[in-house]
């Protein structure tokens, strides 16, 4: 029989998993998500992507501010769930919640555990020059992404992938993986394997202080830094524009030929020298403006040698 599930998730990344579980015929007793937050120019309350999708599907939605109270536990138990599925929920589950579903709580994590446990695995994989990433289903325990692993899917990471690109590739892959895992759980065939004790790394939350581009690094290292932070928070440098240095986010770039002092603009196509090699900026964003291709940016801006980026 299909499982009776509680789904716990918040951002866009979690939506494909919710849709796959529904498509496979599982009963979603309730959706837990983070409460609506003010967003946009009018600062109107904006429901999470998961909440919006749950309402469309007619699934009850709960947005508790904590799961650590007895009332929250009692409410969680009333759903009489076989299991809970957790995808980027954004709230820690205490042991009592983890123990409440009959078959446990299962998390979809966007890395190849035990590498990149923690908050920002997609960004960190790109920034660290990893050759591959992936998604894993694990049975949750009270540790930080330390639970036993059930299933995994791998994906090659190329130099042209931004964090947004990798996110968009892993989200549907994860939805399919979790649906297969819940199918195996339903049949009683889901196998769990403890994570390796070697190769543990932690994907710390991205700090905006990390976003300043350091041209005094090799071109590929700068590229991976830029792509790992694109589009948010966005790696930035200062450009001499309209008589003053202005902060500009670099969203996409590519390795190019050329050399020079780090930060020097080498041509009229916005090729920039690094400590070793050079990068050509492909897409960028000025403060308060929409992202734009370099060709469009240069139509209204003279930026060529001997300009300098800092």
- Buried-exposed string 65-83: b where 16+ CB fall within 10 A, e elsewhere: eebeeeebbeebeebebbb
Task: Name the one residue in this structure whose structure tokens are 């036993």.
Answer: 148
User: What does 283-308 look like in DSSP terms, one character per residue?
Assistant: EEEETTS--EEHHHHHHS----TT-B
* Measured distance CA(4)–CA(186) in Å, rounded: 10
Place of tokens 């109270």: 69
Q: Of 66, 62, 126, 124, give the one whose Cα is nearest residue 91.
A: 66
Q: 250: number of CA atoms within 13 Å, CB side?
A: 29
CB 228 within 8 A of CB 285: no
Residue 197 annotated as binding site = no
CA within 13 Å, CB half, 180: 14
Distance CA 83, CA 102 (A): 6
The answer to whether 114 is annotated as binding is yes
Beta bridge partners of 37: 46
DSSP-derived letter for residue 198 is S
The answer to whether 111 is a known ligand-binding residue is yes
Q: What would you measure as the largest C-alpha separation in the chain, in angstroms?
A: 70
Joined tokens for residue 140: 């949750």
What's the Rg (C-alpha) of the chain?
Answer: 22
Q: Tell me whether residue 65 is annotated as binding.
A: no
Euclidean distance between CA atoms 254 and 258, whole angstroms: 12
Binding residues for (6S)-5,6,7,8-tetrahydrofolate: 111-114
Binding residues: 111-114
């Amino acid at each position: 029989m299909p499982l009776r599930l509680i789904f716990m998730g918040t951002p866009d990344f979690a939506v494909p998993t919710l849709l796959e579980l529904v498509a496979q015929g599982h009963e979603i007793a309730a959706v837990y998500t983070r409460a609506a937050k003010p967003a946009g120019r009018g600062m109107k309350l904006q429901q999470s992507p998961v909440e919006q999708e749950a309402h469309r599907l007619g699934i009850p939605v709960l947005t508790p501010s904590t799961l650590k109270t007895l009332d929250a536990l009692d409410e969680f138990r009333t759903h009489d769930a076989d299991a809970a599925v957790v995808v980027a929920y954004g709230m820690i589950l205490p042991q009592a919640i983890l123990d409440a579903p009959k078959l446990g709580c299962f998390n979809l994590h966007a890395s190849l555990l035990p590498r990149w446990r923690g908050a920002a695995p997609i960004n960190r994989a790109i920034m660290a020059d990893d050759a591959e990433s992936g998604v894993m289903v694990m049975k949750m325990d009270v540790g930080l992404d330390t639970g036993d692993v059930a299933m995994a899917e791998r994906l090659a990471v190329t130099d042209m992938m931004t964090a947004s690109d990798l996110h968009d590739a892993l989200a549907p892959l994860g939805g399919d993986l979790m649906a297969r895992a819940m199918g195996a759980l339903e049949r009683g065939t889901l196998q769990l394997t403890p994570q390796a004790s070697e190769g543990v790394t932690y994907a710390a939350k991205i700090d905006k202080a990390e976003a300043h581009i350091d041209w005094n690094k090799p071109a590929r290292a700068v590229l991976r830094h830029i792509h790992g932070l694109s589009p948010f928070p966005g790696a930035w440098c200062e450009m001499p524009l309209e008589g003053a240095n202005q902060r500009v986010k670099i969203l996409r770039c590519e390795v190019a030929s050329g050399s020079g002092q780090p930060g020097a603009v080498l041509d009229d196509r916005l090729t920039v020298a690094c400590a070793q090699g050079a990068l050509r900026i492909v897409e960028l964003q000025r403060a308060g403006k929409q992202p734009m291709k370099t060709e469009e940016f240069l139509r209204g801006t003279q930026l060529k040698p001997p300009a300098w980026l800092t």
